[in-house]
Structure 1
Amino acid sequence: GFLCSWSVLFSLPTPHPSQMSAAEENVDFRIHVENQTRARDDVSRKQLRLYQLYSRTSGKHIQVLGRRISAKGEDGDKYAQLLVETDTFGSQVRIKGKETDFYLCMNRKGKLVGKPDGTSKECVFIEKVLENNYTALMSAKYSGWYVGFTKKGRPRKGPKTRENQQDVHFMKRYPKGQMEIQKPFKYTTVTKRTKRIRPTNPS
């Protein structure tokens, strides 16, 4: 019996390059499975919040007026109520006008437009929280192009925007009377999800 176990030890094959590639294939397969699972989990991971986006330059709020976008909305304006869909990590967002059901999107010319279907990557933005506590929204499809407005509340073209311009700086604001409603709502979603939501403002 003792000799037998020794012969087993010595007859173990050394790893062969072909086996290594099989291990690599395993890794690829695992990544594939993770991606598939991630896609399935997407629905459960999304968080929907209602708020307004206050433009630093126009002093008003972003409005989704159907296909037209502006930053001329007063506090509490129905076209300024935005439903913002965020993934758990909080970086990628889709923004929909609550009143019109149109999504805020940026087309290939860098123009801000409203679209009834928000599935395109043109309607996904990467949220960046800046040092001054303002938020900038960069196009997920056209890197380096930001949502921005002039002092008159007119949209700026993406290619003319930069992260450090005041034109692209926004502040999240709850609609009048919504703050009290939002808070308990947030906590109920936390308990249902059994995930801790990270605070939006870094301390």
Structure 2
Amino acid sequence: MGSPRSALSCLLLHLLLLCLQAQVRSAAQRRGPGAGDPADSAGQGHEDRAFGQRGRAAENLTKPAPNYPEEGSREQRDSVLPKVTQRVTVQSSPNFTQHVREQSLVTDQLSRRLIRTYQLYSRTSGKHVQVLANKRINAMAEDGDPFAKLIVETDTFGSRVRVRGAETGLYICMNKKGKLIAKSNGKGKDCVFTEIVLENNYTALRNAKYEGWYMAFTRKGRPRKGSKTRQHQREVHFMKRLPRGHHTTEQSLRFEFLNYPPFTRSLRGSQRTWAPEPR
């Protein structure tokens, strides 16, 4: 048998081992089941985060849509509906050139027609256009001839006119072959001409029904077919002239000059004083 001291030391050593084992077990219980390996704990954390994201996405899909009001005032709908960037629509300015072009092609039945009286001087024949009683049209009239006196009526507010002889009352028209003819009724579109002021200050008369066909006369004063005319040709160039002895009596064509008394500045420059008109 051993000595009592050795037996006591063995007993103390055994108790110490039991205490150490009890401390290890308590520490393991406090850390939990996943606190053993750091790598395992990191993998477990990633899985938990992925599971949380999938759960939130599923929750958003199953979440009911907001109930927007179908009826109500505009202020109530704007307060509930989400704010959306509004598109600003910019309206283009009206094209007045296109408006004038379109209205010039329509006969004006409301406005008062402007009536002018003049002669058409042909550049090629050197004479004036005349409408005879036998419905013939030529450019062989002298200045002041009664058959050369023409009355021009506006058809639109633009430059479209109807030309008729003052002596016979017949309108200058153009048929489908391009020949100038005289008609007693000038309401058709074939009796309407567009006045075009050229760069050389001459005037060309283009038919409204047959685009590109002009009133033209040869050197002998005979009418030329409109299908053979162009704007740059001398045969289509005319000059407006007043008949001999014809004077305008319209007051609107006369200018009135108004004499205003001159004014002078004072020395200070802040007030203006009117000086009496010299006599």
**TM-score when normalising by structure 2:** 0.52
Please state how far the C-alpha of 1:5 moved relative to its aligned partner: 6.8
* Structure 1 residue 7 corresponds to structure 2 residue 80: no
> Which consecutive aligned stretches of 4+ in structure 1 deviate over 3 angstroms post-superposition?
8-11, 87-90
What is the aligned partner in structure 2 of residue 130 from structure 1?
A: 198
Please state how far the C-alpha of 1:9 moved relative to its aligned partner: 5.0
Counterpart pick for 1:140 among 208, 213, 216: 208
Please state how far the C-alpha of 1:6 moved relative to its aligned partner: 2.4
Whether the aligned pair in 2 keeps the contact of 1:148 and 1:168 (CA below 8 Å) is yes
Please state how far the C-alpha of 1:46 moved relative to its aligned partner: 1.8
SS at structure 2 position matched to 1:171: strand
1:169-180 equivalence runs, <5 A: 169-178=237-246, 180=247
What is the aligned partner in structure 1 of residue 187 from structure 2?
A: 119
1:53-72 equivalence runs, <5 A: 53-66=120-133, 67-72=135-140
Distance 1:166-1:42 versus aligned 2 partners, 3 A rule: same
Work out the CA distance in 1 between the residues paired with 2:73 and 2:206.
66
Name the aligned partner's letter for residue 187 of structure 1.
S
Work out the CA distance in 1 between the residues paired with 2:122 and 2:109.
30
Q: Aligned-residue CA RMSD in angstroms? A: 2.7
Distance 1:9-1:98 versus aligned 2 partners, 3 A rule: farther
From the two aligned structures, give the one with the greater strand fraction: 1
**TM-score when normalising by structure 1:** 0.71
What is the aligned partner in structure 1 of residue 89 from structure 2?
A: none
What is the aligned partner in structure 2 of residue 110 from structure 1?
A: 178
What does the per-residue CA deviation read over 1:68-122, in whole Å, with 9 as the maximum and x for residues that have no partner?
A: 1000010010110000012564410100100000000000000001000000000
Distance 1:44-1:139 versus aligned 2 partners, 3 A rule: same
Q: Which runs of 5+ in 1 are unaligned?
A: 12-30, 189-203
SS at structure 1 position matched to 2:76: helix
Please state how far the C-alpha of 1:186 moved relative to its aligned partner: 6.1
Distance 1:59-1:49 versus aligned 2 partners, 3 A rule: same
Please state how far the C-alpha of 1:59 moved relative to its aligned partner: 0.4
Work out the CA distance in 2 between the residues paired with 1:151 and 1:138.
19
Name the larger-Rg structure: 2
Work out the CA distance in 2 between the residues paired with 1:120 and 1:4.
58
Whether the aligned pair in 2 keeps the contact of 1:45 and 1:88 (CA below 8 Å) is no
Work out the CA distance in 2 between the residues paired with 1:114 and 1:162.
22
Counterpart pick for 1:160 among 199, 217, 228: 228
Q: Which runs of 5+ in 2 are unaligned?
A: 1-71, 81-98, 254-279
Work out the CA distance in 1 between the residues paired with 2:175 and 2:251.
33
Work out the CA distance in 1 between the residues paired with 2:219 and 2:251.
34
Work out the CA distance in 2 between the residues paired with 1:162 and 1:5.
63
Please state how far the C-alpha of 1:10 moved relative to its aligned partner: 6.0
Quick one: percent identity of the two aligned structures?
58
What is the aligned partner in structure 2 of residue 44 from structure 1?
A: 111
What is the aligned partner in structure 1 of residue 144 from structure 2?
A: 76
Q: How many residues of Structure 1 are paired with residues of Structure 2 in the alignment?
A: 160
What does the per-residue CA deviation read over 1:130-171, in whole Å, with 9 as the maximum and x for residues that have no partner?
A: 000000001100011100001110000001111001000000
Name the aligned partner's letter for residue 149 of structure 2.
Q
Work out the CA distance in 2 between the residues paired with 1:94 and 1:43.
17
What does the per-residue CA deviation read over 1:35-81, in whole Å, with 9 as the maximum and x for residues that have no partner?
A: 8xx86x63534200000000000100000114210000100101100
Please state how far the C-alpha of 1:187 moved relative to its aligned partner: 1.2
Whether the aligned pair in 2 keeps the contact of 1:69 and 1:155 (CA below 8 Å) is yes
Name the aligned partner's letter for residue 250 of structure 2.
F
